[in-house]
Amino acid sequence: MENSIVLSIMAAAIIAGTPLLYAALGEILAERSGVLNLGVEGMMLAGAVSGFMVTVMSGNNWLGLIFAILAGGFMALIHAFLCVTLKANQVVSGLALTIFGTGVSGYLGKSLIGIPAPVTFEKIPIPVLAKIPVLGPVLFNHDALVYISYILVPLIWFFLYRTNAGLKLRSVGENPAAADAVGVNVFLTRYVYVIVGGMLAGIGGAYLSLAYAPTWLEHMTAGRGWIAVALVIFAVWDPVRALIGAYIFGGVDALGFRLQAMGIMIPSFFLKMLPYIFTIVVLILATRETHKKRVGAPGSLTLPYDREER
Amino acid sequence: MSVPQIAKKEQGFRVTLEKRGTTPYLIHFLVPVSSVVAALLVGAIFLKATGHSPLEIYAMMFNGAFGSMYGISETIVKAIPLMLTGLGVSIAFRMLLWNIGAEGQLYMGAFAASWVALFAPDMPGYIMLPLMFIAGFLGGALWGLLPAIPRAFLGVNETITTLMLNYVAILWVDYLVYGPWKDPKGFNFPLTAPFRDSASLPTFGNSRVHLGLLFALAAVVIVYVLLKHTRWGYEIRIIGESQNAARYAGMNIGKNILLVMLLSGGLAGLAGMAEVSGITHRLQHGISSGYGYTAIIIAWLSKLNPWAIIIVSFLFGGLLVGGFSIQTSGLPSATVFMLQGLILFFVLGGEILTRYRIKLQRGRK
């Protein structure tokens, strides 16, 4: 009995961690190119609302997912244009993206409030694997988007550390002038990965409205975009560590929810504070550790690249 | 002066950007104004595309905000918390401290001021109100100090921590007004019992414009004097320009981070105090309509200039009031945030004109 509660919390941690994981993976790619995008929250909201809207209109959640990807990518394109081409302040542009995303999703989503999703990403137990004790119910009894994220993490890891394109990406983020000198197109690279990052955030948002909730609520991300940005720092810009971090955060989320459902005597408001306080604590610990080990952010993060100022 | 840097080929013309040596004064004024116009135009396209009449909606917003004495007084009412939070955010931004926690700092100021109003023994307004003022300032200031400590001593990213604390502060106030502080005679609404008269800020005439307006205007003057005419203000400006230069000059950056966040949070806390004492006369759920976030846009649009913050806050107050008046025609309040986001995009994009000169050349490329 006790055992099954633990298993179900672990499975819930993976579900709650999945939107964070997608968003954090996207932010890792963008930041690896040297562009900080604090608009994750806004891009997730754009993804959540457009994914949900298209699913309601078409009755096809995969089509919804595609539009969520497009919406996240489009939002990121605005950020890339402002920060890469026009060299605007990356922090403020990201904040603008979040404010705009909150507004536009609330505007578009108004008529969608209260409608249940006609189709959602349903659980697909993987044959054989789902039967493994402990691991099966925790890892292999989820929806397709969870499985895709399992594949995405090693893929992005391999891409970053074992391919030529990944090396170029990292070099642009560390030292754009040097990358430029050996013929890497700094501007194009930054555009591409900021947009890919936005697309992944869009999937994270759609996961909330099409699998996790599954419905549309105004500002339903509730700070998850910011938690994803914090996760990137915790993960030291590494996709595998991002996976671990996302599931830990998902676990805190799931635990609070579970305690609430069990009628624990702590008021629900305090349980809802847990993920935010946890984020702050983890961020402080992670920052201390990165300082100690002298690892850290990509060298050119938040600095626009200007060929003239080499 | 410099080599063309970004070149685009467009119909035989070449658009090139040239770095400016100096920026004409007019540009500093024209860029924000045209940014707002451009944002409204894009907003209009968006409204049109979603089946609304942009002209009608903008007219309705303008009328709601500026079309009557009542509208103007409501716009001023909204401008008060915007000025205070905008000022707070701008001081932090000047030091490149990204305090985006003004919303939470406002809530904690409102909480602290309400605590005094609800639980202090009865006393005349000239004692009660200053006590609430101090409590409001301290509530916001301490909430601002909280993320400043790890930032100053460990370099922990303050953007994320200040934002996370917004959620915590809002949940804390919600806990109080849904729980122990709930008015037993309040029909189960999430609000506290009303304050005594001695805890209410006086208003001007029979409008809702309250004494908080004077706090806000005084805060503008004080911040201006602090920044322009004191050694501390000088240090803040230098640290904002170059941390290394400041360090070589022997300035204590950590101490300044703590002080700036105290002041920044305190001003937002005052906004919270003014809202509960001047407008709602009680603590309740949702006392802020996103003032702390709008403050970010106001600070940036004002170029962190305290005087400009007065004007920009008034305009954004109008945008909020206009936003309320279009809700009768079925548009959500989020429309205003959409427009705010667009304005900030264009302001950011337009800034390139203050740094570069655009040249149109007949092209051979």
> pLDDT tens digits for B91-133?
999 999 999 999 999 999 999 999 999 998 889 989 999 999 9
Residue B252 counted as domain residue: yes
- Predicted local confidence at residue A1, as pLDDT: 46
Whether A287 has its CB under 8 Å from any CB of chain B: the answer is: yes
Residue B333 counted as domain residue: no
> pLDDT tens digits for A70-98?
999 999 999 999 999 998 999 999 999 99
> pLDDT tens digits for B16-26?
777 776 777 77
Q: Of B5, B18, B157, B297, which to mutate for an interface test with A (greatest number of A Cβ within 10 Å)?
A: B157
Task: Report DSSP state, residue A116.
Answer: B
Nearest to B156 among A108, A226, A287 (CB): A287
**Phi-psi region at B250: left, alpha or beta (left = phi > 0; alpha = psi -120 to 50):** left
Same domain? For B176 and B128 the reply is: yes
Torsion of CA A191, A197, A200, A204, to 10 degrees: -130
Residue B332 counted as domain residue: no
Q: Which residues contact B109 (CB under 8 A, 6 or more apart)?
A: B135, B136, B137, B139, B140, B143, B266, B268, B269, B270, B271, B272, B273
Mean pLDDT of all residues in chain B? 89
- Predicted local confidence at residue B102, as pLDDT: 97
Interchain pair A100, B337: CB under 8 A? yes
Residue A263, Cβ density class (10 Å: 0-12 exposed, 13-18 middle, ≥19 buried) = exposed
| B188's tokens | 């189960």
| A136's tokens | 């099966």
Interchain pair A88, B175: CB under 8 A? no
Per-residue pLDDT at B5 exceeds 60: no
Residue with token string 């206009």: B322
Interchain pair A223, B167: CB under 8 A? yes
A223 within 8 A of A40, measured Cβ to Cβ: no
Task: Give the structural domain span for B298.
Answer: 79-306
> pLDDT tens digits for B277-320?
999 999 999 999 899 999 999 999 898 999 999 999 999 999 99
Same domain? For B210 and B355 the reply is: no
Largest CA distance in chain A: 67
Task: Give the structural domain span for A129.
Answer: 2-309
Same domain? For B194 and B256 the reply is: yes
- Predicted local confidence at residue B351, as pLDDT: 82
Closest-CA residue of B relative to A218 is: B334
Amino acid sitting at position B76: I
Separation of alpha carbons B172 and B285, rounded Å: 10
State percent of chain B over pLDDT 90. Answer: 64
* Pairing relationship of beta strands B7-10 and B13-19 according to DSSP bridges: antiparallel
B292 within 8 A of B103, measured Cβ to Cβ: yes
- Predicted local confidence at residue A103, as pLDDT: 94
Instruction: For residue A191, give how far its alpha carbon lies from the nearest alpha carbon of chain B (Å).
Output: 15
- Predicted local confidence at residue B4, as pLDDT: 46
Residue B9 DSSP SS3:
strand
Separation of alpha carbons B168 and B173, rounded Å: 9
Residue B101 counted as domain residue: yes
Amino acid sitting at position A276: Y
- Predicted local confidence at residue A302, as pLDDT: 83
Whether A222 has its CB under 8 Å from any CB of chain B: the answer is: yes
Residue B179 counted as domain residue: yes
Residue B58 counted as domain residue: no
State percent of chain B over pLDDT 70. Answer: 94
- Predicted local confidence at residue B14, as pLDDT: 67
Same domain? For B43 and B171 the reply is: no
- Predicted local confidence at residue A285, as pLDDT: 92
- Predicted local confidence at residue B7, as pLDDT: 47
Rounded to an integer, what is the distance from CA A31 to the centroid of its chain? 13
- Confidence grade of residue B2 (pLDDT, cut at 50, 70, 90): very low
State how many domains chain A has.
1
Per-residue pLDDT at B69 exceeds 50: yes
- Predicted local confidence at residue B13, as pLDDT: 66
State how many domains chain B has.
2
- Predicted local confidence at residue A31, as pLDDT: 95
Residue with token string 């809202």: B275
Same domain? For B37 and B126 the reply is: no
Which positions in chain B touch A81 (Cβ < 8 Å)? 349
B17 C-beta neighbours (distance < 10 Å), count: 21
Which positions in chain A touch B8 (Cβ < 8 Å)? none
Same domain? For B122 and B265 the reply is: yes
pLDDT in tens, chain A (310 residues): 467 888 888 999 999 999 999 999 999 999 999 999 999 999 999 999 999 999 999 999 999 999 999 999 999 999 999 999 998 999 999 999 999 999 999 999 988 998 888 899 988 888 888 888 888 888 998 999 999 999 999 999 999 999 999 999 999 999 999 999 999 999 999 999 999 999 999 999 999 999 998 999 999 999 999 999 999 999 999 999 999 999 999 999 888 888 877 777 788 899 889 999 999 999 999 888 888 777 778 888 888 888 776 5
Window 44-83 of A: residues touching B by CB (8 A cutoff) are 78, 81-82
Task: Tell which wins on pLDDT, B341 or A292.
Answer: B341
Q: Report pTM.
A: 0.91
In sequence order, the β-bridge partners of residue B101 are: none
Same domain? For B35 and B118 the reply is: no
A113 C-beta neighbours (distance < 10 Å), count: 12
Per-residue pLDDT at B338 exceeds 50: yes
- Predicted local confidence at residue B247, as pLDDT: 86
Separation of alpha carbons A115 and A186, rounded Å: 44
- Predicted local confidence at residue A267, as pLDDT: 84
- Confidence grade of residue B363 (pLDDT, cut at 50, 70, 90): low
Nearest to B338 among A92, A95, A103 (CB): A103
- Predicted local confidence at residue B12, as pLDDT: 61
Residue B93 counted as domain residue: yes
Same domain? For B167 and B269 the reply is: yes
Same domain? For B42 and B141 the reply is: no
| DSSP structure string for A113-160 | TTPBPSS---EEEPTTGGGSTTHHHHHSEEEHHHHHHHHHHHHHHHHH
Q: Which of A20-34, B172-186, B237-251 tops mean pLDDT?
A: A20-34
CATH number of domain containing A159: 1.10.3470
B316 within 8 A of B82, measured Cβ to Cβ: yes
Per-residue pLDDT at B257 exceeds 80: yes
Amino acid sitting at position B39: A
> pLDDT tens digits for B183-202?
988 888 999 999 999 999 98
Which positions in chain B touch A97 (Cβ < 8 Å)? 341
- Predicted local confidence at residue A309, as pLDDT: 65
At CA B121, angle to CA B106 and CA B134, rounded to 5?
30
Torsion of CA B240, B241, B243, B245, to 10 degrees: -140
